[in-house]
């Protein structure tokens, strides 16, 4: 793994408030690795390197306010670690499992986690669906992975009976919720909540949709009823 180079983007003031002071150095090293190795390995577009903090790290850090203390979190489709590694850095109390099918990306995730000494991160290579029926989590996050309807099918079977899926979304969120009405109903989900998560200081906020189970019985309960 390349060392942080001259290309490392300078740290904006908002980052000093978004990350605990003891973890800011880790966030800076992650930004440096994304801007160098991330670009070289084609995980981040070259133009993204200039806007790494606002568009990526701080945007993902805004999600942390929606995660209960000590949660077991699965980040579906982590890519280069967004939001999974950002959350693991910002919140050492979280236990993060990053699920990503592509080897090139899981190699990068493993290397970054090792280089930064992130003991609260597990990287799992595979599709989210491969974990269905095996494991559940308090929160299942995602960013830029799939339209909501498909994301629900991949993510909700991983959500514990009292947990939630929290998917970062953009301006299309209302349309995506409407398009997912049949899937929401079929899976037994509660009405989705749109979260407008404030940024810290001058930093960007984030929009996300949170979906819980309607009956707090989760997938196991639904299976029992079906049989
Ligand atoms: C557009 S990238 C987004 C990556 C990252 N979340 C971000 O915001 O930069 C979508 C990622 O989802 C992964 N992916 C696609 N289908 C998946 C599935 N069924 N389960 C888990 N990950 C999946 C892809 O390999 C890819 O890394």
Q: How confident is the model at residue 169 (pLDDT cuts 50, 70, 90)?
A: very high
Q: Quote the tokens at residue 48.
A: 């993204």
Number of C-beta neighbours around residue 123 at 10 A:
23
Using a cut of 0.75, tell me whether the model's pTM lies above it: yes
- Summarised one tens digit per residue, pLDDT across range 86-123 is 999 999 999 999 999 999 999 999 999 999 999 999 99
Task: Round to whole Å and give the CA distance between 30 and 162.
Answer: 32
SS3 letters for 92-153? CCCEEEEEECCHHHHHHHHHHHHHHCCCCEEEEECCHHHHCCCCCEEEEEEECCCCHHHHHH
| pLDDT score for 8 | 65
| pLDDT score for 217 | 53
- Answer whether 76 contacts ligand 1 (Cβ < 6 A): yes
- Answer whether 38 contacts ligand 1 (Cβ < 6 A): no
Tell me, rounded to whole angstroms, the distance of Cα 179 from its chain centroid.
Answer: 22
- Summarised one tens digit per residue, pLDDT across range 46-55 is 888 889 999 9
- Answer whether 31 contacts ligand 1 (Cβ < 6 A): no
Report the percent of the chain where pLDDT is more than 90: 81
CA 101 – ligand 1 centroid, Å? 8
Q: How many residues does the chain have?
A: 227
CA 79 – ligand 1 centroid, Å? 5
Look at ligand 1, atom 24, and give the residue with the nearest C-alpha: 77
> Are the beta carbons of 111 and 45 closer than 8 angstroms?
no
> Are the beta carbons of 114 and 95 closer than 8 angstroms?
no
- Summarised one tens digit per residue, pLDDT across range 124-136 is 999 999 999 999 9
- Summarised one tens digit per residue, pLDDT across range 29-71 is 999 999 999 999 999 998 888 899 999 999 999 999 999 999 9
Name the most confidently modeled range: 158-162, 199-203, 222-226.
158-162
Query: In terms of Cα–Cα distance, which of 155, 204, 209, 201 is closest to 177?
Result: 209
């Amino acid at each position: 793994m390349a060392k942080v180079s001259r290309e490392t983007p300078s740290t904006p003031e908002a980052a000093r408030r978004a990350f605990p002071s003891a973890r800011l150095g880790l966030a800076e090293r992650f930004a440096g690795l994304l801007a160098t190795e991330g670009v070289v390995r084609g995980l981040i577009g070259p133009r993204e390197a200039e806007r790494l903090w606002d568009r990526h790290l701080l945007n993902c850090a805004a999600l942390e306010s929606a995660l209960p203390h000590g949660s077991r979190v699965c980040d579906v489709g982590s890519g280069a670690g967004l939001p999974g590694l950002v959350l693991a850095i910002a919140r050492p109390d979280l236990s993060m499992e990053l699920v990503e099918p592509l080897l090139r990306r899981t190699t990068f995730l493993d290397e970054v986690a090792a280089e930064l000494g992130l003991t609260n991160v597990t990287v799992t290579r595979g599709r989210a669906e491969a974990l269905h029926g095996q494991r559940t989590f308090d929160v299942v996050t995602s960013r830029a992975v799939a339209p909501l309807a498909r994301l629900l099918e991949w993510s909700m079977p991983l959500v514990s009976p009292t947990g939630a899926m929290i998917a970062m979304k953009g301006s299309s969120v209302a349309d995506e919720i409407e398009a997912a009405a049949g899937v929401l109903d079929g899976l037994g989900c509660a009405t989705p909540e749109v979260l407008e998560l404030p940024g810290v200081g001058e930093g960007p906020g984030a929009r996300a949709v949170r979906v819980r189970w309607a009956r707090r019985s989760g997938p196991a309960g639904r299976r029992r009823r079906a049989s």
